Amino acid sequence: MKICNIVLAFSALFVLTETVLAQSRDFIKAEDAFKACEYYTAADLYRTSYSSLSQQSDKSGKTKAEILFKIAECYRLVNEPVKAELWYVKSLSKDTTAKALYFLAQAQKMNLKYEAAKDNFKKYKTKFPGDARADEGIRSCEQAQSWMSNQNGYTVENMRFFNSKSRDYCPAYGAADYSVVYFTSSREGSTGKAIHGATGQLSADIYVSKIDKKGTWSKPVLVKGTVNTEFDEGSPCFSKDFKTMYFTRCKRAKNTIYGCQIMEATQQGEEWTSEKPIDIAKDSIVVAHPAISPDELTLYFTSDMPGGKGGKDIWKVTRSSKGDDWGKPVNLGPQINTSGDEMFPYVHADGTLYFSSNGMTGMGGLDIFKATPQPNNSWKVENMGYPINSNADDFGIIFQDEQEKGYLSSSRSPRNDDDIYAFFLPPVKFSASAKIIEEKSNKPLADVNVKVISSDGLTYDLKTDKDGNLNLNLKPNTDYVFIASKDGYLNGKDRQTTKGIDKSRDFKVSIAMVSIAKPIELPNIFYDFAKWDLRPESMVALDKLVETLNDNPNITIELMSHSDARGNEADNLVLSQKRAQSVVNYLVEKGIAAERLVAKGYGKTVPKVVDKKLSEQHNFLKEGDVLNEAFIGALPDAALQDVAHQINRRTEFKVLRTDYKKK
């Protein structure tokens, strides 16, 4: 934001030593221009003064560093971070102890050089450990990179209908249907003809544009009436009936600092006239950027008046009714205001306060923040994130009531001038992409019936294609259960929910279906040696079996327990039978009907046949190997034999029927 009386950032200004500079006319002029916030003019004069000084003795090195710092400051204050970075580097080359380190880091942050900026914030912290701004700068660099990697879903587009080659910023709606937009611009054709020493452009005026039935915005024109003058006018806002305009007027004169005032104007026909200042502070104080509350009883604004937290703060005045005078200014306090600048307030219809700050954790220069009022009269303040915010200055946001869309101002364009951007949050869309596969082979299963049950009471019956895929659009704030069924397979299930999710998303549903053509092993069923009591860690796997039986209510199963080949065969049969029965007992305790369950111990009579998965886990086994006594006895060492015996000690189940009906 390149306007003297509107954007004043904190700066550590150097007091130049009284050297030969005292006789330098250019330097004296530069100092006067700088004090009057005419930074463009000052930068040129400082450069001329430096060129003259550079031809003198090197003994003036300290003074050179001070002038270089002032040049960098000028470019910082007119929002040209690329030039500012260059001149801060030059300043530091002459004086490594200068506080230019902090402003160099700030400029690098705005130039998207986050790692370099973070390094310089750390160096600054070493030199000035008591300055909390260093830690804030480091946090900002780290957070900015995170925000850019995790966008907030908004789309931001340049509003070319409104923008010119000059500065265009601070839009405001001028009609209830959002068909009229007022904004500030310093383009050619403005009322003031003199070049502003702070910006290098014409004085700012208020312009208006209207949209037609085809959705095309008209060419912006100066508002009619007397609100625009030779001075700077801008940042308008309107009463609820759009008959009263509040705006900022900043007077200026060469090498002279004036404050800014909030003006109130009335619409008469197509003209805005009868403007008068709102008496808030002295003329020398900056009082700017008005924002009127929906009930028109609170006026928020930006000011550098005494009693603030540092830099520019956001204040408010209130009144009991629309006809009353405004009360005394009240600072919004430390939750909103910092030692930096807080500016450009905007009050949403729902009472949320939006504003810009360069004193909080942000991405670059000014960032837009959202402050939500809390029941205890405090504020919950949040950075709006990327891409609402950028590495540049972002400010002057407005919303359409009840919609996540509107306009904002930003200097993110390549030329670093302020432009107006449209933003909107696309409708949140949810979808599900399901893939159904066969559990053993991982091959897709075609023609699988998939029933989708949603928490809103609707049910969808779908079927996978030849590649095992299906797609479905989902609703917000809804739970979904996907149940896959196919003859010859156990039913499979997956759950998804869109509750609590505010960004569009495609949910990946993956269901692996298990064939019932062969016994199905239950992993992680453990017993103590020669015991049949289930160990606690076995309960997790059996609970999954309970879920499978509940998902497949028409099947009956046989629980099959196997031992290894060691020990007495008769004892192994008895032990395996008891182990199978312990599984059945557990399932009955969990509510599974006993008539659906059969326990059978097989001892060592059914050795394991190695499948593909086992062969991939153990390189001494190949698919198709039968782990009988002869095979295990032929293994080269006892360790491999123990592994094979462990594989044989297993619990499985096989499906006996698929037509069970509860009695």
Q: What is each CA distance from 517 to 380, 526, 547, 554, in whole angstroms? A: 60, 25, 20, 16
Whether residues 127 and 187 fall in one domain: no
294 and 190 in a common domain = yes
- Owner of token pair 């670093």: 416
What are 124's two structure tokens? 């600054």
Whether residues 256 and 272 share a domain: the answer is yes
SS3 at position 26: helix
Output the domain CATH number for residue 128. Answer: 1.25.40.10
Q: Tell whether 493 is covered by a domain.
A: yes
Q: How confident is the model at residue 413 (pLDDT cuts 50, 70, 90)?
A: confident
In a domain, 1, yes or no: no
DSSP 423-481: EE-PPP-EEEEEEEEETTT--B-SS-EEEEEETTS-EEEEE--TTSEEEEEE-TT-EEE
- List the end-to-end C-alpha distance of the chain, in Å, as a whole number: 78
Domain assignment present for residue 44? The answer is: yes
Residue 73 lies in a domain: yes
CATH number at residue 583: 3.30.1330.60
Task: Please identify, among 118, 149, 180, the residue that sits at the C-terminal boundary of a domain.
Answer: 149
Contact 503, 526 (CB under 8 A): no
CATH no. for residue 334?
2.120.10.30
Final residue of a structural domain among 394, 424, 454: 424
Same domain, 417 and 539: no
Same domain, 393 and 447: no
Task: Return d(Cα 2, Cα 253) in angstroms, integer.
Answer: 17
Can you read off the two tokens belonging to residue 456?
């809103």
pLDDT tens digit sequence for 504-538: 899 999 999 999 999 988 887 877 667 788 888 78
- Cβ count near 375 (within 10 Å): 5
pLDDT in tens, 114-173: 999 999 999 999 988 888 889 999 999 999 999 998 888 899 999 999 999 999 999 999
pLDDT at residue 210 tops 90: yes
453 touches 483 (CB < 8 A): yes
Statement to judge: residues 272 and 332 lie in one domain: yes
pTM value > 0.75? no
Q: Per the structure block, which two tokens stand in for 549?
A: 């039986």
67/25 Cα distance (integer angstroms): 14
Looking at the structure, do residues 243 and 314 belong to the same domain, yes or no?
A: yes
Q: Report the 3 state secondary structure along 60-111.
A: HHHHHHHHHHHHHHHHHHCCCHHHHHHHHHHHHHHCCCCCHHHHHHHHHHHC
If asked whether residues 197 and 298 sit together in one domain, one would say: yes
Section 402-431 average pLDDT? 92
Q: How confident is the model at residue 352 (pLDDT cuts 50, 70, 90)?
A: very high
Do residues 204 and 317 both lie within one domain?
yes
Sequence-distant (6+) residues with CB within 8 A of 395 are: 1, 169, 170, 343, 344, 356, 366, 368, 408, 409, 410
- For residue 385, tell me if it sits in a domain: yes
Q: How many CB atoms lie under 10 A from the CB of residue 227?
A: 22
Distances (CA, A) of 78 to 40, 147, 204, 359: 7, 26, 15, 18
Whether residue 585 contacts residue 570, with contact meaning beta carbons closer than 8 Å, is answered with: no
Q: Same domain, yes or no, for 258 and 243?
A: yes
34 shares a domain with 141: yes
Which of 396, 424, 452 lies at the terminal end of a domain, its last residue?
424
What is the Cα–Cα distance from 563 to 292, expressed in whole angstroms?
A: 81
Residue 524 is part of which domain span? 520-657
Preceding omega of 444 cis (within 30 degrees of 0): no
The count of structural domains within the chain is 4
285: in domain: yes
Using one digit for the tens of pLDDT, what is the confidence trace for 52-87? 776 655 455 557 888 999 999 999 998 899 999 999
- Model pLDDT, residue 5: 37
Domain-embedded: residue 473 = yes
Question: How far apart, in whole angstroms, are the C-alpha atoms of residue 340 and residue 9?
Answer: 7
Does residue 577 surpass a pLDDT of 50? Answer: yes
What number is the average pLDDT over the span 252-274?
86
Residue 638 domain-assigned?
yes
Work out the angle at residue 303's Cα, subtended by the Cα atoms of residues 302 and 306, and round it to the nearest 5 degrees.
150
Give the separation between CA 424 and CA 152, rounded to whole angstroms.
11
pLDDT per position as a tens digit, 590-645: 999 999 999 999 999 999 999 888 899 999 999 999 999 999 999 999 999 999 99
Do residues 340 and 379 share a domain? yes
